[in-house]
A = this chain, B = another copy of it.
């Protein structure tokens, strides 16, 4: 492995330590749990707390979205593994400003279980917790089984909207309603061109032969819906736009936000090559892009590939998306 590594067992601790050092103007470590990263200004008294969490290896997700007007506390898991229930409850406590806590997380079995346990613990401590489960990954289940779909980069929009709503002083139920509307309005798709390797495992988590690509792949190498010959960037972009927009029929004139994320080892210029075509295809459907994000926003170690997320905006989502934030991920 051509990687910058020490002992594979220490990767997460070292990543979190480096992150907190680099961004100490934005975040701090929870004093009682080194797997909880807390926004520097959290908890804010009287504000609904925003919590998320997930496995490591997706940097800048999840820790990079802790910050002002964003996520108040992030529970950090091992590489590609859910944070513990203890880390989720510690994150909830760290985010609690007395107005309840919204846990906005992705639909994975481990996260579901551990958030559920943490929620029970929070109830004992008198902290009101509500949850929104992101399920924006179109290829992970059919539309009529949307509750089975995984959460991927659409989570970033969910956090952004939820965080902005909470910053406005909204109640827990209002925050959760806006975050739910945000993720309901999101569709994502991933394309994989190359695998990644968990250092402690030492071999790739899946294989893609040269000249092939996998459409609909997940953030941990979960298989996609199609293994195909590698096409041109334009053909891939067309396919990705078709997948997300065929799943989400939007009336002409709808404004959208678009997020194109590399999966870790895709050169930045190729993401712009994709975006060039993606925006054209979106426009061809009569939609217009209000705001675009292109870069490494939600990665999978050194996987080669990209994800596209489209968020359909309404007046409230647009207003909340435009609220200024301070976090390392953006």
Contact = CB atoms under 8 A, between A and B. Distances in A.
A270 B5 contact: yes
B17 A299 contact: no
Contacts of A21: 275-276, 279, 289, 292
Contacts of A56: 269
A15 B272 contact: yes
A189 to B, nearest CB: 14
B302 A266 contact: yes
Given A4-B236, A6-B234, A22-B294, A17 B276 contact: yes
Contacts of A265: 264-267, 302, 304
- Among A4, A57, A260, A289, chain B packs the most CB atoms within 10 A around the CB of A4
Contacts of A276: 14-15, 17-18, 21
Contacts of A2: 193-194, 208, 210, 213, 230, 304
Nearest to A237: B4
A19 interface: yes
Interface string A164-194: 0000000000000000000000000000011
Nearest to A60: B268
A101 interface: no
B302 A267 contact: yes
Interface string A250-274: 0000000000100011111111111
A32 interface: no
Contact of A275 (B18, B193, B264, B273): B18
Contacts of A135: none
A306 interface: yes
A194 B230 CA distance: 23
A276 B10 CA distance: 12
Given A22-B292, A232-B6, A268 B264 contact: yes
Residue among A17, A193, A234, A269 with max Cβ neighbours from chain B (10 Å): A269
A3 interface: yes
Interface in A42-69: 56-57, 59-60
Contacts of A236: 4
A279 B24 CA distance: 12
B272 A59 contact: yes
Nearest to A79: B269
11 contacts: A2-B304, A3-B270, A17-B272, A18-B272, A18-B276, A21-B276, A21-B289, A22-B260, A56-B269, A59-B269, A264-B267
Which 8 A-B pairs have CB atoms at the shortest separation, nearest pair first? Answer: A18-B276, A18-B272, A265-B265, A59-B268, A2-B193, A18-B275, A22-B292, A4-B233
